[in-house]
Amino acid sequence: MELAKEGYKVTLTITPKLVEIAENKAKELDLIGQFNGFYSADAREINA
């Protein structure tokens, strides 16, 4: 949220439960437009 507050565009990839929490928080702080998306993923399957 701090990066979004500073004007950065953010793409968030976290667990499904945290996606819902983060999206709700972004809406609450009127920062939803700073996010490119909210995605859930298994960290064991993310390739660098």
Rounded CA gap, 31 and 23, in Å? 9
pTM of model > 0.75: no
- Cβ neighbours around 16 below 10 Å, total: 11
Question: Judging by beta carbons within 10 Å of its beta carbon (0-12, 13-18, 19+), is residue 38 exposed, middle or buried?
Answer: buried
In this predicted model, what pLDDT tens digit does every residue of 15-42 receive, in sequence order?
Answer: 888 899 999 999 999 999 999 999 888 7
Does the pLDDT value for residue 4 go beyond 70?
yes
